[in-house]
Amino acid sequence: MRGERPGHTLHATELVHEAYLKLIDSEVPWQNRVHFYAVAATMLRRILIDHARAKHRGKRGAGAEKVSLDDAVLFSPQVSAEVVDLDDALKRLAVNDERKSQVVEMTFFGGMTHEEIAAVMKLSPKTVQRELRVAKAWLHRELSADGDTST
């Protein structure tokens, strides 16, 4: 949200407050700071997706602008439909490979480093980097296919 333009419908402060309220109500036994960030990334993703679905209910479809995976996480009215598409693609990825889906979620929704993700998932940072690279390629293909009407 850091690079988002002023006046957009969901401010970073509102996002953090809503995530905080959900986190304090949870009964999660926190293992460490990195575990907290991993759970927070999931909460942030859910909040952003719920907001996007509510804002654009019935407005999805033709004419949607394609955005890169990196740009899709910058939440704004113009890309909220793409965030929903990203969430749908992440759900499909999770069916095929839950670990890759979690790595993407922690990276893009949680802002976690490869080292932090590696600590949470008990992997090496190089493995996290490889998983992210493969997941981004898979998501790019999926997101491109969703909007491709020529095939």
Higher-confidence residue of 13 and 8: namely: 13
Instruction: Tell whether the model's pLDDT for residue 17 goes beyond 60.
Output: yes
Q: What does the alpha-carbon distance between residue 72 and residue 63 come to, in Å, rounded to a whole number? A: 16
Question: Chain centroid to CA 110: how far?
Answer: 8
Residue 40 clears pLDDT 50, i.e. is over it: yes
Tokens representing 103 are: 């790595």
Q: Which domain holds residue 110?
A: 12-59+68-146
- Tell me the pLDDT band of 151, cut-offs 50, 70 and 90: very low
59/149 Cα distance (integer angstroms): 18
Q: Could you give the number of structural domains in the chain?
A: 1
Distance of alpha carbon 25 from alpha carbon 116, whole angstroms: 24
Q: Is residue 96 part of a domain?
A: yes
Determine the average pLDDT of the residues in 122-129: 95
Among 37-46, 96-105, 108-117, which stretch is predicted with the lowest mean pLDDT?
Answer: 37-46
The mean per-residue pLDDT over the stretch 22-37 comes to 81
How many angstroms separate the Cα of 99 from the Cα of each of 89, 134, 149?
14, 11, 30
- pLDDT of residue 137 exceeding 80: yes
- In this structure, is residue 4 part of a structural domain? no
Q: So what's the pLDDT on residue 6? A: 53
Q: Is residue 1 part of a domain?
A: no
Mean per-residue pLDDT for 46-60? 69
Would you state the pLDDT for residue 1?
44
* For residues 103-115, average pLDDT: 89
How far is residue 91's CA from residue 101's CA, in Å, rounded to a whole number?
A: 8
How many degrees, rounded to 5, is the angle at CA 57 between CA 44 and CA 82?
A: 55
- Domain annotation covers residue 151: no
pLDDT band per the 50, 70, 90 thresholds, residue 24: confident
The answer to the question of residue 140 being in a domain is yes
Q: Tens digit of pLDDT for each residue in 62-91?
A: 445 555 555 544 445 555 667 778 888 999
